[in-house]
Amino acid sequence: MSTYREEQRESQELVIRYLREASAVERAQLKRMCKAYREFRAAIHDFQRRHLHAICTLSCFQSNLSACCNKDGVITFFADLVVNALFSPPHALHHLMQGLNTVRDDIKCIYLGANGCRWHIKPLVCEMFLCDRALEGMKAADPQAVAAWQRLEAEAKRFRWPDRPVLFDLIESRFLAAGLCSPLMYLHNSPGLMRIKRKAGLAWSVRAGSPGGHWQLLQVSIDTDGWIPTQTASSSSSLRPDVADSVRTTFLAAGPR
Ligand code: SF4
């Protein structure tokens, strides 16, 4: 089994197990965090239905494939896994895990099944992928649609590009705070993304640090690159106001453990 497949399998298992054992309150909180993102994904679907359905061939949307499915090692963010597991019916998760546990050499993407993608909610990278032919077709049919698509691309960044507090980062932080870790937590382990966070003054995370299991807010020192404790959650007001707001309204809503 390749390292990529193994990482995907272990991370999917970790997320599914965690959510299965999480309280109803916690699951509801996570779902609330994803509300704007779900609305965004619905807008993408609507756009694809209106502007791409006629262009994309049977090998793409109609068979539930996206044009990127022939590439090796699609990038999946940890938050992609969480969103999918949160909103998938149990049989869909079973189907997804079955695929990951079955090594096949005749297909490129490890998530591709006989009926297309096994994700209930595809990774964002896949959802936003447009091949050149689709882009050209869209441009010819409706030049204004291209500008609309570019607006959606910019909007997609608001969920995963950490030059501001973003959902994908907050989800990772929440799982880190619960003591879980995955190589797919790129918002916390990619040097490039960490650099963007530091530049924006956002290189912080939350961990369940104290022996009593209380939430502890940690911040990356921009000067030293080291993790330095700054304050506990209850006194997070000295953070930049928008960051403190995000902390309060998302993962700290769960309160001390
Ligand atoms: S995850 Fe799904 S949509 Fe993305 S490349 Fe793989 S099969 Fe295609």
How far is 217 from 185, CA to CA, in rounded Å?
18
Check whether 2 has a pLDDT greater than 90.
no
- Binding pocket residue ranges, ligand 1, CB within 6 Å: 66, 68-69, 74, 109, 111-112, 117, 119, 122-123, 126
Please tell me whether residues 42 and 135 are part of one structural domain: yes
Mean of the per-residue pLDDT values of the chain: 78
SS3 236: helix
Domain that holds residue 225: 167-254
Please tell me whether residues 12 and 129 are part of one structural domain: yes
Name the residue with tokens 């999946």: 76
Please tell me whether residues 84 and 28 are part of one structural domain: yes
For the chain, what is the domain count? 2
Q: Kindly indicate the confidence band of residue 111, based on its pLDDT and cuts at 50, 70 and 90.
A: very high
Atom of ligand 1 nearest to the CA of 125: 4
Please tell me whether residues 155 and 193 are part of one structural domain: no
Please tell me whether residues 83 and 155 are part of one structural domain: yes
- For ligand 1, the distance from its centroid to the CA atom of residue 69, given in whole angstroms, is 5
Please tell me whether residues 141 and 58 are part of one structural domain: yes
Query: Cβ distance 252 to 234 under 8 Å?
Result: no
Q: Which of 160, 181, 199 is the last residue of a domain?
A: 160
Atom of ligand 1 nearest to the CA of 68: 5
Please tell me whether residues 143 and 178 are part of one structural domain: no
183 DSSP 8-state letter: T
Q: Which of 129, 160, 191 is the last residue of a domain?
A: 160
CA angle 192, 195, 198 (to 5 degrees): 155
- For ligand 1, the distance from its centroid to the CA atom of residue 111, given in whole angstroms, is 6
How far is 48 from 73, CA to CA, in rounded Å?
24
Please tell me whether residues 154 and 173 are part of one structural domain: no
pLDDT of residue 53: 79
Please tell me whether residues 148 and 182 are part of one structural domain: no
Please tell me whether residues 131 and 218 are part of one structural domain: no
How far is 136 from 149, CA to CA, in rounded Å?
12
Q: H or E segment at 86? A: helix 78-87
**How many alpha carbons lie under 13 Å from residue 253 in its C-beta half-sphere?**
16
Q: pLDDT tens, 198-223?
A: 788 775 544 433 333 333 444 433 22
Q: Kindly indicate the confidence band of residue 62, based on its pLDDT and cuts at 50, 70 and 90.
A: low
Q: pLDDT tens, 14-50?
A: 999 999 999 999 999 999 999 999 999 999 999 988 8
Please tell me whether residues 110 and 126 are part of one structural domain: yes
User: Is the pTM of the predicted complex or chain greater than 0.95?
Assistant: no
- Which of residues 176 and 253 earns the better pLDDT score? 176
Please tell me whether residues 47 and 148 are part of one structural domain: yes
Q: Kindly indicate the confidence band of residue 56, based on its pLDDT and cuts at 50, 70 and 90.
A: confident
* Average pLDDT estimate for 229-238: 35
- For ligand 1, the distance from its centroid to the CA atom of residue 148, given in whole angstroms, is 24
Q: Which of 160, 189, 205 is the last residue of a domain?
A: 160
How far is 98 from 100, CA to CA, in rounded Å?
6
Name the residue with tokens 């960044």: 157
217 DSSP 8-state letter: E
Check whether 83 has a pLDDT greater than 90.
yes
> 205 Cβ partners below 8 Å, 6+ apart?
172, 173, 176, 177, 188, 218, 220
